[in-house]
Amino acid sequence: MKTDAHKRITSFMPPHRTLMGPGPSDVSQRVLDAMARPTIGHLDPAFVEMMEEMKTLLRYAFQTENDLTFPISAPGSVGMESCFVNLVEPGDQVIVCVNGVFGGRMVENVKRCGGTPIVIQDAWGAPVDPNKVGDAFKANPNVKVLAFVHAETSTGVQSDAKTLAEIARRQGALTIVDAVTSLAGTKLLVDAWGLDAVYSGSQKCLSCTPGLSPVTFSPRVVETVKARKAHGQSWFMDLSLVLGYWTAAKRTYHHTAPINALYGLHESLVMLQEEGLEHSWARHHANHLKLKAGLEQLGIEFLVAEPYRLPQLNTIKIPSGVDDAKTRSRLLNEYNLEIGAGLGDLAGKVWRIGLMGYGSCEANVNKCLAALGEVLA
């Protein structure tokens, strides 16, 4: 036996933190309670009924009538990958807008599917420039897909999904849209904006635990997948197979759904329905304004120009002379408060303060401002 005989390992008891980073966000007791309910079989009629409700609730959250709307049994990154492996075949041209970390991952996905990425760069901290997208379509008339991130969590920037999707539709191209951080936090209208393949995550503004990726696919996506010349490289993510699990009248086994995690997502979507989507957007905006007012009193500046700021992810410049890592570890150890560090070129230069989902509340705004004020003093 190779186990460490000196230490008897006992149950893990996590500390109580306030999660104000880029996700996961605070999970309500109501969602945690839902996840503690009895595990039943994933083909049990009661479970199948819950799956049907889940699809209805997700259609509301995404503002879509798309039949094919369900949570993928994996984190947001797999939602992203599912869009690419299903829609991008070898040789396909894909315009990818990169203005942060997640756009960069989209480029990787296109390459791994054998597609040709046409990369449009915008500065980290700036939104995607629709004019550049229009020019790229003019120069490349055979582009099949336009891919972009609606809410770039690495920088706190919101891009104009409606305008970008209009450009793509005019050119007959499909859109792949990252709505991981935008869903339920800022306005997202999948049908009205004509978005095609949209993926999100459970742990940002839905405030469920991580590990699930709500997705929605337009009828045009379904047609495109059915018309594929050959299967994509992934068995697990093959939409034509997942369909039999989530949409067929008679369910067939594809994989075992993460039963209790889905109870949690169901509960968080019920909470969203109770609050109302517009109210959720308004609450995120109002708490952002409160945080902004307090930060400005502390002399702290935002990275992103005002019209493009995400209310649910506030990227602020670290005041000069302040130690990034030391400050964050004091916030964690002395105040049980987690905020996010900068990524890539922004590492050491910014902090990312999340006000997502259940965590977008006045108590969190006040806690964060008080703690920052004390630590920076």
Ligand X SMILES: *Cc1c(COP(=O)(O)O)cnc(C)c1O
- Return the number of the residue (99 or 287) whose C-beta is nearest ligand X: 99
> Which residue, 171 or 178, is less far from ligand X as judged by CB?
178
Part in contact with ligand X (CB under 6 A); list of ranges 45-53, 72-80, 133-141, 319-327:
72-80
Q: Closest distance between ligand X and the C-beta of residue 34, in Å? A: 20
Q: Fill in the per-residue mask, 18 to 57: x = in contact with ligand X (CB under 6 A), - = not in contact.
A: -----x----------------------------------
* Least CB distance to ligand X at residue 318 (A): 21
Provide the pairing of β-strand 337-341 with 18-20: parallel
Expressed in percent and rounded to 5, the helix, strand and coil fractions of the chain are 40, 15, 40
Select 237 or 371, whichever has its Cβ closest to ligand X.
Answer: 237
What are the φ and ψ backbone dihedral angles of 263, each rounded to 5 degrees?
Answer: -60, -40
Closer by beta carbon to ligand X, 31 or else 371: 31
CA-based nearest residue to 196, from 211, 181, 179, 180: 179
Q: Is 311 in the site for ligand X (CB under 6 A)?
A: no
Per CB under 6 A, contacts with ligand X among 82-141 are 102
- Taking the CA atoms of residue 138, residue 142, residue 144 and residue 150 in that order, the dihedral angle to the nearest 10 degrees is -10
Six-digit token string for 38: 């009895």
Under the binding rule (CB under 6 A), the answer on residue 69 touching ligand X is: no
Identify the sign of the CA torsion 185, 160, 58, 144: negative
> Which amino acid is it at 325?
A
Give me the least distance between CB of 364 and ligand X, in Å please. Answer: 19
Binding segment toward ligand X, per CB under 6 A, in 5-13, 69-77, 238-246, 275-283: 69-77
* Structure letter (DSSP) for residue 60: H
Q: To the nearest 10°, report the CA torsion of 132, 138, 144, 146.
A: 10
- For ligand X, the binding residues in 137-166 under the rule CB under 6 A are 149, 153
Contact assessment for residue 158 and residue 137, using Cβ atoms and an 8 Å cutoff? no
Least CB distance from residue 312 to ligand X, whole Å?
10
Give residue for tokens 């935008």.
182
Residue nearest to ligand X (CB): 76
Q: Which of 140, 153, 225, 149 is nearest to 188 (CA)?
A: 149
3-state secondary structure (DSSP) of residue 19: strand
Q: Which stretch binds ligand X (CB under 6 A): 173-181, 221-229, 230-238, 302-310?
A: 173-181
Whichever of 17 and 326 has its CB closer to ligand X, that residue is 17
Distance in Å, CB of 41 to ligand X, minimum? 26
Q: What number of chain residues touch ligand X (CB under 6 A)?
A: 13
**Cα(318)–Cα(339) distance, integer angstroms:** 12
Nearer to ligand X, 232 or 354 (CB): 354
- Tell me how far, at minimum, the Cβ of 152 lies from ligand X, in Å: 6
Using the minimum distance from each CB to ligand X, give the nearer residue, 47 or 102.
102
Q: Is 354 left (phi over 0), alpha (psi -120 to 50) or beta?
A: beta
By C-alpha distance, which of 191, 202, 153, 177 is closest to 311? 153
What is the contact mask toward ligand X in residues 176 to 215, using x (rule: CB under 6 A)?
--x-xx-------------------x--------x-----
105 — phi, psi (to 5°)? -65, -30
Cα–Cα distance for residue pair 293/139, rounded to 1 Å? 44
Answer for which of 75, 104, 194, 294 binds ligand X (CB under 6 A) is: 75
Q: Taking CB under 6 A as the rule, does residue 76 contact ligand X?
A: yes
- Footprint on this chain of ligand X (rule: CB under 6 A): 23, 75-77, 80, 102, 149, 153, 178, 180-181, 201, 210
